[in-house]
């Protein structure tokens, strides 16, 4: 079952796609999109989470720039618009929006009170920032673009986190990946996995860089992680 939820903040409101499981008392996973908005790829991920017993909520990030932006064809003028929005997106205000949503989700009817975060590319970076600045019960970052620019915030992350890094990611190059590994104590709450030979967006459904074996492994690790920390 899915529907659209609208949340009001001080300077406006934004929509969220919600997929619900059949049962009540379910944990919530807030799913943060790439620069392409709440498209079919992200709805697929939300429905998959709902089938696994989670309430999945995917908010639009670019709502201050364009309401309802979603792109399923990653070429042409749509791609140009997405890249433009990425450059103009206020990450601090976006992180505040997401923190508001996490707090809201804890008291959502039918929810258990536990909330996780899961994000891809820009969404992966926003997952990292929200985990560092306001926290959640557990979080997963898939190839978080430009995470190296915020690595100084890593020590503030106190809750369990997984970071999935692609070995050939041009947006998180080798030096940046080394910085990510070095930022976390192996005995701490954050685990970093590398997927050698994979490009950025290796887990995007139907994407040109999709890698089935790497996506399966990363997703299996994610499902086990959420089962351990959100149940």
C-alpha torsion sign, points 120, 57, 50, 137: positive
Q: Is 164 an annotated catalytic residue?
A: no
The Cα 178–Cα 176 span in angstroms is: 5
Write the DSSP string, 102-170: HHHHHT-TTEEEEEEEEEETHHHHHHHHHHHHT--SEEEEES-TTGGGGGGGGGG--S-EEEEEETT-S
Among 159, 158, 69, 184, residue whose Cα is nearest residue 122: 69
- Which of 121-156 are b and which e, b meaning 16 or more Cβ less than 10 Å from the residue's Cβ? bbbbbbbbbbbbeebbbbbbbbbbbbbbeeeeebee
- Are 171 and 149 spatial neighbours (Cβ–Cβ below 8 Å)? no
Active-site residue identified among 169, 199, 211, 229: 169
Task: Indicate if 169 belongs to the active site.
Answer: yes
Per the residue annotation, which of 97, 199, 200, 211 is the catalytic one? 200
Q: Which residues are catalytic?
A: 169, 200
């Amino acid at each position: 079952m899915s529907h659209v939820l609208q949340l009001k903040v001080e300077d406006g409101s934004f929509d969220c796609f919600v997929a619900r499981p059949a049962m009540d008392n379910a944990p919530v996973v807030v799913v943060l999109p790439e620069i392409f908005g709440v498209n079919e790829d992200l709805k697929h991920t939300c429905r998959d989470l709902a089938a696994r017993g989670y309430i999945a909520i995917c908010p639009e990030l670019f709502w201050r720039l364009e309401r309802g932006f979603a792109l399923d064809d990653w070429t042409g003028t749509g791609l140009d618009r997405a890249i433009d929005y990425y450059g103009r997106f206020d990450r601090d205000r976006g992180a505040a929006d997401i923190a508001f949503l996490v707090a809201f989700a804890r008291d959502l009817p039918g929810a258990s009170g536990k909330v996780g975060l899961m994000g891809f590319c820009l969404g992966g970076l926003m997952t990292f920032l929200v985990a560092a600045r306001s926290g959640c019960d557990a979080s997963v970052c898939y190839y978080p673009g430009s995470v190296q620019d915020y690595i100084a915030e890593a020590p503030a992350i106190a809750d369990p986190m997984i970071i999935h890094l692609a070995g050939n990611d041009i947006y998180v190059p080798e030096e940046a990946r080394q910085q990510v590994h070095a930022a976390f104590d192996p005995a701490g709450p954050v685990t970093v996995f590398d997927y050698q030979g994979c490009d950025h967006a290796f887990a995007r459904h139907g994407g040109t860089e999709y890698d089935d074996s790497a996506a399966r492994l990363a997703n299996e690790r994610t499902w086990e992680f959420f089962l351990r920390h959100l149940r």
